[in-house]
Every structure is written in structure tokens, then in C-alpha cells.
Amino acid sequence: MKTRTISLILVVVVTLTGFAWFFRQLSFVSVGLAANSEVQRALRQSLSDQKSLARSDPSHAAVYRQRFEEVRLLLTRMEILSLTGRKLTSALEGTLLALVALVIASGSTIYLIEHRRREQRLVQLRESLMALSRGEPVASPLGKRRDLIGRISLMIESTSNAIDRDRRRMRSLEHLSSWQEAARRHAHEIRTPLTAARMEVARLLSWAGQQLPGEQAALASAQASIFEELERLRAFTTAFTSFAMLSPPRLVPLDLARFLDDFTGTFASAWPGLRLESQQGGGERCEVMMDANLMRQLLVNLANNSAQACDGRTGLLRLRAWREGKQVLADVADDGPGIPASVRDRLFEPYTTTRQIGEGMGLGLSICKKIMLDHGGDLDLVSSERGATFRLTFPAGDELRG
């Protein structure tokens, strides 16, 4: 800092001295021309000549007199310039020197202010890096300036966001994985006694039929009732299994916008109370790496939820994909009653449902979330004025391929 200040002062002093010296040389020349004795002598000679001419040619005396007066006026001005030249030079020098000093002072002030600001921003940058190293979230503190420091700050912020996003994804994945493990164990624990119970019930009813031949009808009714309940338990276990045994995606490059178009065409009449509408505009290519079967399963799950939420009236499900930076986003939005605020926070947790007990397992959105996390993306509920809007986030396909 000290060296910089000394250098700055030296530059200012050398510039001002050099300018003063240069201008002094220049102004001495210009004023010297005006006060030049030879010029004045020539003008005086001209005056003398005009007078001589007037005497020798009286008929044109008026002309010579006029010329004489013109030269005399010029001579008067030259005389005054030679008398005041030094003062004029000094005034010009002083003014220009003051102007140059003002320019240099302004420049130096701006430089020093900018330097101080840059130092402050560097300190903030260092604090951001420290926060990043501690794993804390970093918000860009350096304004919107797009200089080197500003760009580095944005990179830090972007890195922090990416780390935060990955951390959340990992948490979700771990959470869902533990749920999957629990579901797998429950399914296993239920399935074995369920099979045994089914066989024992069949054997018991067969024995009872032999012992009580007159009660065949009552026994058949009891068998149907018991088997219906056992079937419900089996379906419950199957759902557990499908959640627990979710296969990893087989990723291939696909255009998500086109996929959504195809989906709305194929499933146009799959839900009688739900109209599907694809809103792809501009022909923007939204290439992602995805498993088409899993993605179809995800969309079917979401559409099922929307169709059930419509509760008898005709609903509309809009699908739209677009690219945003290094990501491809897709919104699946219905115009139903929306998600109650009470379940929004745990919407993607298993066994969370808004339906009546016995009408659903509450695993559909968990499966959807897992599918998206397995794609390296995410699934979120975004706020909307009406209905429910789910946003699918994919890393862009070209970014993944590098």
C-alpha cells in the first residue's frame, strides 16, 4: 500500500512537472511570436511606407490612410500583447496546470476508491471460500459486478448451490433407501406367513366341508371373505416389493419434450376424467439421459394422482419441458384442488397420502422421487396459483456427456 501510494505521488509529480515544462516552452514560443521585435519593426515600417505613399500619391491618400489605420490597430494589439504576454502565459499555464492536476487528482481518487473496494471484496471473497470449506451455504455478497472478483464470487455461489443440491439429493436418497430396506423386510415378513395362512385356511375349510356337509354355502362364503382379505394383504405386500425392488434406470439420451408429446398422445384416453395437454413451444431440444419405462411409470403415477384428485369432474394435466442453463426442467401441472399444506413438507415420504385409509399405500410419490434421484435429478412440488405442479429436474444430456 505504501509503495503504491509513493508510486502514485511520483507519477503525479512527474506528470505535472513534465506538463509544466512542456507548456512553458510552447507558450514562450507563441507569446514570443506576438512580442517579436522584428514583427513590430516590420509593422512600423509598413506604417512609414503608407505615409510615404500617401505623400507621393496624394490622390490615393485616403486608401493609404485606411491601410495605415489597419496596420496601426494591429500594431497596437501587438504592443499590448508584448506588455501582457508574460501574465497571459502564466494565466494559461496556471489554468491548464490546474486542469491537469484536477484530472490526475480525480483519476487518483477513483483509483484509490476502486482499490479499497477491491480489497473489501477480496476479504468478502475469502470469507465466502471459508464458508464453502465449512460446508455452509454461500450467498453471493459481491453484488452484480461482472469483473474478475464478481465472476469468481458467482462461481463460488454456484459451487455452493451445487454442493447444497447434491447434499439434499443424497439425504433424500439415503432416506428413501432406508424406507426401501424397511419395505423389503416387511414384505418378506408378511409374504411367508401370508402364504402359509392361505394354505392353512384352504385346508381348514376343506376339512370343515367334510365334517359339516350341510354348511357348504356358509363355508364357501367364509372362504371367499377370508381370501379377499388375504388378497388385499398380498397386494399390499406387492406394493411394498415394487417400492423396495425399484430397478436402477437404464439411461439413454432422449428428447424430453418429444417424450412428453408422445406420452400425451399415447395416454390421451387412459384417464376418462383427465385431459392431457403437452405445451412444448419453440421446438427447443431438451435432451436428457433417462429410462423411458421409469419415466413413463413416474408420469402415470402423477397422472393417477391428478385423476383421483379431480374427484369426478374433468381435469386438465399440462406437461411442459424446457431447458434452463445446464438443466432440463419439466412441469406436470393439474388444475385440481392442489396439495393440502399439512402434507407438503413430507409429501415425498413413503406412506404419506391424502386418500382414505385403505385407498392407497402412499408410495407413488416416493417412487417418483426415487426415480428422479436415480436419474441424477430431482422432483419437487412448486407453488402454483391453482392445482398441483410437480417439477422434474434433469441434468442436461449434453452436459452429462461433456
Partner 1 sequence: MAPAQVRFRSAAIACLLALLGAAAPRGDVPHVFARPDGAILIRLPASSLTGDRVKTQLRSGLTTAFVLVMKGRDSEDHERKLGARVEIRYELWDENYIVVVIDGTGRRESRTIDSYAHLVDWWSRSPILLGAPSPLRQSGAVAVSLEMVPFSPEEEADTQRWLAHSLNTSSSRAASGQGAASPQPSEGLLDIIIGTAIHRQAILSFHWDVRVEASPPK
Contact range with partner 1 by CB under 8 A, out of 64-72, 278-286, 291-299, 338-346: 64-72
In angstroms, give the least distance from the CB of 116 to partner 1.
Answer: 33
DSSP designation for 59: G
CA dihedral 48, 54, 60, 64 (to 10 degrees): 20
- Shortest distance (Å) from residue 62 CB to partner 1: 12
Nearer Cβ to partner 1 (27/366): 27
Quickly list DSSP for 213-260. Answer: GGGHHHHHHHHHHHHHHHHHHHHHHHHHHHHHTPPPP--EEEEHHHHH
Residue 103 interacts with partner 1 (CB under 8 A): yes or no: no
Helices and strands counted in the chain (H then E): 10, 7
Please give the Cα distance from 363 to 142 (Å, whole number).
44
Task: Using CB under 8 A, pick the residue from 35, 51, 182, 308 that binds partner 1.
Answer: 51
Q: Nearer to partner 1 by C-beta: 77 or 232?
A: 77
Closest CB to partner 1 among 74 and 316?
74
Least separation, in Å, of the C-beta of 21 and partner 1?
13
Pick the piece of the chain touching partner 1 (CB under 8 A) from 84-92, 157-165, 222-230, 231-239.
84-92
> Out of 10, 83, 130, 196, which residue is the one contacting partner 1 (CB under 8 A)?
83
Which of 36, 45, 56, 76 lies at the binding interface for partner 1 (CB under 8 A)?
Answer: 76
Pick out residues in 11-50 that bind partner 1 (CB under 8 A): 47
Are 333 and 318 a contacting pair, CB within 8 Å?
A: yes
- Which of 351, 347, 371 minimizes the C-alpha distance to 297? 371
8, 39, 92, 222: which one binds partner 1 (CB under 8 A): 92
Amino acid at 262: D
Instruction: Report the C-alpha gap between 270 and 50 in whole angstroms.
Output: 116
151 binds partner 1 (CB under 8 A): no
Interface with partner 1 (CB under 8 A), residue from 53, 81, 129, 149: 81
CA gyration radius, the chain: 46
Instruction: Pick from 8, 39, 46, 84 the residue near partner 1 by CB under 8 A.
Output: 84
- How many CA atoms does the CB half-sphere of 394 hold within 13 Å? 28
> Considering the rule CB under 8 A, would residue 10 count as an interface residue with partner 1?
no
Q: Which stretch binds partner 1 (CB under 8 A): 91-99, 221-229, 242-250, 267-275?
A: 91-99
Query: 379: which strand partners?
Result: 392
Q: By CB under 8 A, how many residues form the interface with partner 1?
A: 22
Chain-centroid distance of CA 119 in Å reads: 27
- Residue 349 · residue 366 · CB < 8 Å: yes
Quick check: 75 binds partner 1 (CB under 8 A)? yes
* Helix extents (H) in 134-147: none
The pairing of beta strand 378-382 with beta strand 315-324 = unpaired
Q: How far is the CB of 107 from partner 1 (least distance, A)?
A: 21
* Residue number, 43 or 163, with CB nearest to partner 1: 43
Cell of 17: 512537472
d(C-alpha 304, C-alpha 361), whole Å: 13
> Is residue 73 at the binding interface for partner 1, with CB under 8 A as the rule?
yes
Tell me the closest approach of the beta carbon of residue 50 to partner 1, in angstroms: 8
Residues engaged in binding partner 1 (CB under 8 A): 47, 51, 65, 68-69, 72-73, 75-77, 79-81, 83-84, 86-88, 90-92, 95
